[in-house]
Structure 1
Amino acid sequence: MKIEGEFEVEAPRSEVWDRIRDPQVMGACIPGCEAVEQVDDMAYRANISVKVGPIKARFNLLVEVLEERPEHTILSRTSGEEGTRASVVTSDNVVRLCDTDSGGTRVDYAADVSVTGRLGKFGLGIFRKKADQLAAQFVENFRARLGVTA
């Protein structure tokens, strides 16, 4: 499933870049994120709880930064599973930053997500709706963390 979107924040690109590269900031913005642990400069682990339909799942994820082009592009891979391997998720992600005419930053994101197991049985429509809800909550949290609006 492909998830894509964009949003703007009234903050300079260098500040947005620094915040997006900070696992603690990102963890605080991701809905359902319970804990974040930095493994090294290019990887971190996160525990995320999510509810899709009637199913609650808690994922142990590894996020690996595969490539960076400061201060505009991050390529990463997210992989993980529920503790019981009831569901497995993998995602190849791209985040791009560019300046806006107003001096802010536009953030474009895309993820190619695969979910197997018990959550994989849900239809694409349910996943897309949930992904859109989570993305909207992340954007709201991220803007609040930066102390800015759209």
Structure 2
Amino acid sequence: MELHHEFTVPVSVDDAWRALLDVERIAPCMPGATVDDYDGKTVTGSVKVKVGPITVTYRGTAVFEEQDESAHRMVLIASGKETRGQGTARATVTGTLGERDGGTAVSVRTDLTVTGRPAQFGRGVMAEVGDKLVGQFAECLARRLEEPTDRTEPPEPAEPLQPVHPTQPAQPAQPIDLLRTAGPPVAKRVAIVAATAVLALVFVRIRRHRHA
């Protein structure tokens, strides 16, 4: 499924570009995500998703396939697998930045493929969840970008980012609660699906009883 989201942050395009590539800085703003390691190109970590009483953890990697600073365009390819199941998730995320009203507009296009329990909700629900999660991320990112820095002199030329070592483990993130994030409409749909499944089960049992 393809998803498109857009948000703005109150800083220049160059500042927003550097911030979005600073994985250690923005990691706490990523709902459900925990970053274990980052070498400047590849991120290793996990994402937790809660579906009703069940929590699903995906472990995997995300690789920056493209970082075009002049065009302010980045492409991230992420893939993961359930730690206790056969479900998988894969996404190609393309982000572009542009000036808007003194700030920066960030456009994100995601080509997402999900198998397993979260896939039961379909594109409509995933889009609703995506909208709210991106909104939470944007609010958190804006707050972090507005925080004062300790630098009083112009920054030195950028150096390669240092890896995040496993000896400094990140705090585990709270799982993304699909039902709570998407709200009552999704809960209602889930109830309808459950009711339909129960009716189908009853119908099958009646047929078996009649043919017994």
Normalised by the shorter chain, which TM-score bucket? 0.7 to 0.9
How far has the Cα of 1:126 moved from its partner?
2.2
Structure 1: distance between partners of 2:45 and 2:91? 14
SS in 1 for 2:43: strand
State the match for 1:109 in structure 2. Answer: 108
Q: Which amino acid aligns with 2:17?
A: W
1:129 paired with 2:111, answer: no
How far has the Cα of 1:53 moved from its partner?
4.6
Deviates more, 1:118-127 or 1:9-18: 118-127
How far has the Cα of 1:85 moved from its partner?
3.7
Q: Deviations over 1:34-74 (max 9, x none)?
A: 33410x22111122212245542111131101111105000
Q: Per residue, is there more helix in 1 or in 2?
A: 2
How far has the Cα of 1:141 moved from its partner?
1.1
Q: What is the TM-score when the length of structure 2 is the normalising length?
A: 0.64
Structure 2: distance between partners of 1:26 and 1:52? 25
How far has the Cα of 1:121 moved from its partner?
2.5
Task: Output aligned runs, 1:1-150, within 5 Å.
Answer: 1-38=1-38, 40-71=39-70, 72-100=72-100, 102-147=101-146
SS in 1 for 2:56: strand
State the match for 2:205 in structure 1. Answer: none
State the match for 2:188 in structure 1. Answer: none
Deviates more, 1:12-21 or 1:50-59: 50-59
Q: Deviations over 1:91-146 (max 9, x none)?
A: 0110001112x321111111000001222233222222222221111111111111
Rg: which structure is higher?
Answer: 2
Q: Which amino acid aligns with 1:98?
A: G
Structure 1: distance between partners of 2:103 and 2:36? 28
Query: Equivalent pairs: percent with the same residue?
Result: 28
Q: What is the TM-score when the length of structure 1 is the normalising length?
A: 0.88
Asked whether the equivalents of residues 36 and 46 of structure 1 are also in contact (C-alpha less than 8 Å), the reply is yes
- The RMSD of aligned alpha carbons is 1.7
Q: Matched residue pairs, number?
A: 146
SS in 2 for 1:130: helix
